[in-house]
C-alpha cells in the first residue's frame, strides 16, 4: 500500500532523525535497533501484556491500568512501549523495574513482525489515539487482541481520519475493542468504523497524588517563599511564554508575586531560559535547588516528573497548550491536587474535563493572555474565591473517578481463556 511504500522510502532517514533529536534528548540515541525490531533483551516466559503509551501524558494515564493488570493477572509480565524520550523517562520514573520497557518499532512490516515475534504478547492496549496500520493489521492477522483504551477523538482529528477512509476504516475495524473517554468520542470513533465502542470514562481521573509529591510541594513552597503569592504556568508550549511575558511587561502583577514556568517539553528548557535572559527577566532554575530571592519573580521549572509537586506548591495553576490552538494539556492533575485552574480558549484535547471543571467552579476559562493575567490578579485578591475553587476541584475530581474499574470490568471477560490466570 502507499502508506507502507512511503514509510519504506523514508527508512534511510529515520536513524539520522533519531540521532539529530538525540542532540538535545540523548535518550533518543539509546537502543536504536529497537526502532527497527531488533531487541537484545531476553523475551520473558510468562504471559505478556503489552501497553503502548506514546509519550508523557499517555504513560501517566497508563499507570492505573498497569496497576490493575498486575493485581488481576499476577502471573503476567507487563511490556510498556513508547515513541518519545520523555515518555520512556516517565515510564522509568513511574514503574521502575516493575515493567519491561522498549521502543515501539516504526510501522514497517519487517519491524512489526520482529516485534511480535520477539515479545509474543497475549494482548495489547493502545492508550488514547496511538494507531499504526501495519501494527494493527499484524495483530489482527495473528490473533492478538488489540484494545484502544481511554480513547479520545476530537472533531479536528476525526476530520483528518475521515479524509483517508481506505486506510482508517479497516484500521478501526481490526481493533478488538475500543473504550472511549466520552459519548462524543465514542460517536466519532463509530463514525470512522470502530466496532461498537463503549464509554468507560477518562482513567486520568483515577490518578492518586503520591505523598512524596505533596511533601516535595511543601519543600518547594518554602524555597519559593512561604508567604509569596505563587502561580504556575504548567506545560506551556512554544509561543505561550512570550504571550504571558508580554502582558506582564505591560501590566505587572504585585512585586511579591512569583511565576513558575514549567515548559511542556524538556528540550525547550534552554529556549525558555534564553527567552527570559533576552528580556532581562531575573529567574532561578528549579535545578539550582536553592531558595528564590525576594526580588526574583520567575522560577524556571526545568525538571521532569515534578508537575504534581509544582501544583502542590502553587496557589493557582494555568494549564498550557490552551492559549494557542494546540488543544490544551492535562488539567486533571492540577484538579487532583486541589489547585484552582485557569485555562485558555483551546482545550479540545480535554474537552469534557475542561467543560466540566469550568461548570463545577473548579476552573475558569480566559480568552487570551491579557485576560489570564487579570484573572490571576483577581484571584490573588480574593482568597475566598480561591478556597471555593479548591473545594470544587476536589469534589469534581472525586466525582469522575472509577474509569479504571469500568475499563477492567469490560476487559476481563475478553481476556479470560488466554492463560493469564494460570
Distance of CA 407 to the CA centre of its chain: 19
Task: Report the alpha-carbon distance of residue 149 to residue 52 in Å, rounded.
Answer: 10
Backbone phi and psi for residue 19, each to the nearest 5 degrees, phi listed first: -65, -40
Q: List pLDDT tens digits, range 25-54.
A: 889 889 999 999 999 888 777 899 999 999
- Order the strands of the 123-127 sheet from edge to edge: 100-103, 77-82, 48-52, 123-127, 146-151, 177-180, 198-199
Q: Do the beta carbons of residue 285 and residue 273 sit within 8 Å?
A: yes
Please report the domains of the chain, with CATH numbers, ordered by start residue.
Answer: 2-201+402-415 (3.40.50.11720), 211-399 (3.40.50.2000)
pTM here is 0.90
Cell numbers representing residue 365 in the block: 476559562
> CB count, 10 Å around CB of 155?
11
* CA distance linking residue 202 with residue 200, whole number of Å: 7
Q: pLDDT under 50 in the chain at which residues?
A: none
Q: Is 58 a catalytic residue?
A: yes
Give residue 422's pLDDT: 62
What tens digit of pLDDT does each residue of 132-152 get? 999 999 999 999 999 999 999
E strand map for 254-410: 258-263, 283-285, 298-300, 316-319, 341-343, 363-365
Residues whose CB is less than 8 angstroms from the CB of residue 369 and which lie 6 or more positions away in sequence, other chains included: 240, 243, 244, 246, 247, 323
**pLDDT recorded at residue 7:** 78
Please pick, among 25, 27, 58, 370, the residue that the annotation labels catalytic. Answer: 58
Q: Residue 14's pLDDT is what?
A: 86
Q: What is the DSSP letter of 75?
A: T
- Which one, of 282, 351, 363, lies nearest residue 316 by Cα? 363
From the number of C-beta atoms within 10 Å of its C-beta (0-12, 13-18, 19+), residue 371 rates as middle
Amino acid at each position: 500500500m502507499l502508506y507502507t511504500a512511503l514509510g519504506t522510502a523514508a527508512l534511510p532517514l529515520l536513524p539520522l532523525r533519531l540521532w539529530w533529536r538525540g542532540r538535545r534528548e540523548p535518550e533518543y540515541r539509546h537502543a536504536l535497533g529497537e526502532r527497527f525490531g531488533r531487541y537484545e533483551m531476553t523475551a520473558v516466559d510468562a504471559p505478556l501484556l503489552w501497553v503502548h503509551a506514546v509519550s508523557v501524558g499517555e504513560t501517566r494515564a497508563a499507570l492505573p491500568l498497569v496497576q490493575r493488570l498486575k493485581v488481576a493477572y499476577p502471573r503476567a509480565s507487563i511490556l510498556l512501549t513508547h515513541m518519545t524520550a520523555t515518555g520512556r523517562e516517565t515510564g522509568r520514573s513511574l514503574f521502575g523495574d516493575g515493567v519491561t520497557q522498549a521502543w515501539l518499532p516504526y510501522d514497517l512490516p519487517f519491524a512489526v513482525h520482529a516485534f511480535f515475534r520477539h515479545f509474543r504478547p497475549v494482548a495489547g492496549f493502545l492508550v488514547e489515539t496511538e494507531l499504526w496500520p501495519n501494527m494493527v493489521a499484524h495483530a489482527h492477522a495473528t490473533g492478538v487482541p488489540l484494545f484502544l483504551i481511554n480513547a479520545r477523538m476530537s472533531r479536528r482529528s476525526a476530520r483528518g481520519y475521515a479524509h483517508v477512509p481506505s486506510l482508517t476504516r479497516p484500521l478501526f475495524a481490526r481493533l478488538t475493542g475500543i473504550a472511549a473517554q466520552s459519548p462524543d468520542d465514542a460517536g466519532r470513533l463509530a463514525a470512522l468504523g470502530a466496532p461498537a465502542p463503549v464509554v468507560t470514562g477518562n482513567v486520568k481521573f483515577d490518578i492518586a497524588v503520591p505523598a512524596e509529591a505533596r511533601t516535595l510541594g511543601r519543600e518547594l513552597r518554602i524555597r519559593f517563599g512561604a508567604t509569596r503569592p505563587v502561580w504556575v504556568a504548567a506545560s506551556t508550549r512554544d509561543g505561550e511564554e512570550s504571550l504571558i511575558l508580554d502582558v506582564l511587561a505591560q501590566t505587572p502583577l504585585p512585586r511579591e508575586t512569583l511565576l513558575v514556568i514549567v515548559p511542556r517539553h524538556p528540550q525547550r528548557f534552554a529556549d525558555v531560559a534564553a527567552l527570559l535572559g533576552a528580556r532581562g527577566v531575573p529567574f532561578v532554575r528549579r535545578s539550582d535547588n536553592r531558595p528564590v530571592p525576594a526580588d526574583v519573580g520567575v522560577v524556571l521549572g526545568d525538571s521532569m516528573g515534578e508537575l504534581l509537586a509544582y501544583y502542590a506548591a502553587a496557589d493557582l495553576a494555568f494549564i498550557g497548550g490552551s492559549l494557542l490552538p494546540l488543544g490544551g494539556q492535562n488539567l486533571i492533575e492540577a484538579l487532583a491536587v486541589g489547585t484552582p485552574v485557569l485555562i485558555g480558549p483551546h482545550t479540545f484535547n480535554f474537552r469534557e474535563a475542561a467543560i466540566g471543571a469550568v461548570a463545577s467552579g473548579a476552573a475558569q476559562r480566559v480568552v487570551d493572555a491579557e485576560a489570564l493575567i487579570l484573572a490571576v490578579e483577581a484571584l490573588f485578591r480574593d482568597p475566598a474565591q480561591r478556597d471555593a475553587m479548591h473545594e470544587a476541584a476536589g469534589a469534581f475530581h472525586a466525582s469522575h473517578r472509577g474509569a479504571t474499574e469500568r475499563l477492567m470490568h469490560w476487559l476481563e471477560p475478553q481476556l479470560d481463556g488466554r492463560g493469564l490466570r494460570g
